[in-house]
Amino acid sequence: MKRVHHVGIAVADLEAAIKLYTDTLGGRLQRRGRLDDLEFALIDAGDDELELLAPDDAESAIGKFVKERGPGIHHVAYGVDDIHQELDRLRAAGLEQAGEVRTGVHGTPIVFLHPKSVGGVLTELVQE
C-alpha cells in the first residue's frame, strides 16, 4: 500500500449524507455519479477522500449491506502502483480476492479483498 486512498461509507440517503459530510462535517463535494448498481459521491477531506455509496437497487451489494447492517463504514481502500502485481503478491500471502479486477469510480482498476481474509475488513486496492 502507498496510502489510504479512501474510506467507503454505505449510506441510505445520498442527499442527506452529502449534506452531513459537507455542510456539517466540513468536507467538500468533489463529484457525484453513478456506477453499475450504485450512486456515489466523493467527498474531499483535505488530501483524503470519503466515498459515499448509496444503493440503486436493494439487491446490490451495498443494498444488502445497508439492509443487513444499516448504513455505516463499508470498506477501506489503499492506493497501489500496479494492481495485478500487488494482487498476485497478496494472494500468494493468503489474502482472498473478491470479484474481478474492474474499473472503479476514478477510472482506474480496482479490486476487493474478502473481509474474512483481512481481519473482517472489506479491503479495496485502487491503482493510482
Residue of 59, 93, 100, 107 interacting with its own copies (CB under 8 A):
93
Residue 7's closest CA among 78, 97, 113?
78
Binding mask 12-41 for its own copies (x = CB under 8 A): x---xx--x--xxxxx--------------
Choice from 46, 59, 100, 107 touching its own copies (CB under 8 A): 46
Q: Which three cell numbers stand for residue 66?
A: 445497508
The answer to whether residues 78 and 7 touch, using CB atoms and an 8 Å cutoff, is no
Pick the closest to residue 101 from 82, 120, 121, 116 (CA basis). 82
For residue 78, state whether it binds its own copies (rule: CB under 8 A): yes
Total site size for its own copies, rule CB under 8 A: 40
2 touching its own copies, by CB under 8 A: yes
- 122 SS3 class: coil
All 3 cell numbers of residue 19? 449534506
The answer to whether residue 81 forms part of the interface with its own copies (CB under 8 A) is: no
CA within 13 Å, CB half, 2: 12
Among 37, 39, 45, 98, which residue sits at the site for its own copies (rule: CB under 8 A)?
A: 45
In 3D, which of 64, 67, 69, 6 has the Cα closest to residue 40?
6
Q: Which of residues 48-67 bind its own copies (CB under 8 A)?
A: 48, 50
Which residues make up the interface to its own copies (CB under 8 A)?
Answer: 1-4, 7, 9-12, 16-17, 20, 23-27, 45-48, 50, 70-73, 75-76, 78-79, 90, 93-95, 115, 118-121, 123
